């Protein structure tokens, strides 16, 4: 099987280890990974902040970059939700405003081919035990777009529970937003930090050493708050845990 990796701009620039982990993991599971270099940002920050017109070129770029791929895998629930939920909406609005149906058609062709990583593993590859080894206590924060936007359900938890050596502890108030919310974090910094502080306090209270998530933007916010405390807790993307083996632990 072949799959294209949509690494997302945040992971590309700030968290390359996540992308590397996805490649290692998928290759270990027998998937041939492509990385179309023409890919860029999905346009979520622009769109969510109210700049729909600025988003359109990025929609076109993303659609073109993945035109020939049957499966597009991304380690971000919010970027997947952007493509699946909002690209068609952006396309419909462009058509309604007289800019033709091209964008709507392109969005409709890409949306069903995009999978968030845990969906791809469980639904397409049909695996729960990916052969990972990670001997630590872990708690999982399900980011809002994965949870409510994509309806990932217990897929991430099932994958984590099957990791050898991993002790999964429940995060109290797991379904509550961490307070990142894209530009919300800078437009409403006080509320954002208050939400994030409640989240890391709850996570630290579980006794876990690792706060795991499947969206690097949420993790950047939580990690940024954690590093202002003396908590031994650290954040890690789900992909890095799933890619870890006894021979190759996460860096």
Partner 1 sequence: MTGTYLGMPAMPATPRMPAVPATPEVPSFPEAAREAVRDGVLRANLRHATHTIRDKRARAVAELADWDRLRAAGRAVKDHTLRHLDRYLLQLEEAVTAAGGTVHWAADADEANRIVTDLVRATGEREVVKVKSMATQEIGLNEALEAAGIAAYETDLAELIVQLGHDRPSHILVPAIHRNRAEIRDVFRTEMGRWGRPAPGSLGDDPRELAEAARLHLREKFLRAKVAVSGANFMVAETGTMVVLESEGNGRMCLTLPETLISVVGIEKVVPTFRDLEIFLQTLPRSSTAERMNPYTTMWTGTMKGDGPTAFHLVLLDNGRTDTLADETGRQALRCIRCSACLNVCPVYERAGGHAYGSVYPGPIGAILSPQLRGTARAIDASLPYASTLCGACYEVCPVAIDIPEVLVHLRERVAQGGPATRAGIRVTLRPADGHTAERAAMRAARLLLDHPGALRAGERLLARARRLAPRRLPGAGRAWTDSRELPTVPPESFRDWWAARERSTPR
Sign of dihedral through CA atoms 221, 225, 231, 232? positive
Using the contact rule CB under 8 A, the part of the chain among 111-119, 124-132, 144-152, 240-248 near partner 1 is 144-152
Q: Does 201 engage in binding with partner 1 (CB under 8 A)?
A: no
Contact between residue 35 and residue 20 where contact means Cβ atoms under 8 Å apart: no
| Residues 34-53: x where in contact with partner 1 by CB under 8 A, - otherwise, as a string | -x-xxxxx-x-xxxxxxxxx
Q: Which residues pair with 167 in a beta bridge?
A: 137
Report the length, in residues, of the chain: 251
Q: Does 246 engage in binding with partner 1 (CB under 8 A)?
A: no
Contact between residue 202 and residue 80 where contact means Cβ atoms under 8 Å apart: no
Contact between residue 27 and residue 37 where contact means Cβ atoms under 8 Å apart: no
3-state secondary structure of 219: helix
Q: Does 3 engage in binding with partner 1 (CB under 8 A)?
A: no
Nearest distance, CB of residue 165 and partner 1, angstroms: 27
Q: Does 77 engage in binding with partner 1 (CB under 8 A)?
A: no
Instruction: Give 133's DSSP letter.
Output: B
Q: Does 227 engage in binding with partner 1 (CB under 8 A)?
A: yes
Where do contacts with partner 1 occur on this chain (CB under 8 A)? 7, 9, 11-20, 23, 35, 37-41, 43, 45-55, 57-58, 61, 89, 144-145, 148-149, 175-177, 179-196, 220-221, 223-225, 227-228
């Amino acid at each position: 099987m072949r799959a294209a990796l949509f690494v997302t701009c945040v992971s590309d620039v700030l968290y390359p280890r996540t992308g590397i982990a996805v490649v290692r993991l998928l290759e270990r599971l027998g998937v041939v990974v492509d990385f179309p270099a023409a890919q860029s940002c999905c346009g979520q920050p622009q769109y969510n902040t109210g700049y729909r017109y600025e988003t359109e070129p990025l929609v076109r770029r993303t659609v073109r970059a993945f035109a020939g791929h049957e499966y597009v895998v991304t380690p971000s629930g919010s970027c997947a939700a952007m493509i699946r939920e909002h690209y068609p909406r952006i396309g419909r609005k462009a058509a309604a405003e007289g800019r033709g149906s091209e964008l709507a058609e392109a969005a409709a062709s890409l949306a069903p081919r995009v999978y968030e990583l845990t969906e791809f593993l469980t639904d397409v590859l049909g695996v729960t035990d990916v052969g990972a080894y990670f001997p630590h206590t872990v708690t999982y924060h399900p980011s809002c777009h994965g949870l409510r936007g994509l309806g990932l359900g217990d897929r991430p938890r099932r994958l984590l529970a099957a990791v050898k050596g991993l002790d999964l502890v429940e995060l109290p108030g797991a379904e509550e937003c961490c307070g990142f919310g894209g530009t919300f974090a800078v437009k409403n910094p006080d509320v954002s930090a208050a939400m994030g502080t409640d989240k890391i306090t709850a996570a630290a209270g579980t006794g876990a050493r690792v706060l795991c998530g499947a969206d690097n933007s949420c993790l950047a916010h939580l990690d940024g708050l954690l590093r202002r405390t003396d908590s031994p807790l650290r954040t890690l993307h789900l992909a890095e845990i799933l890619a870890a083996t006894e021979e190759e632990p996460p860096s």
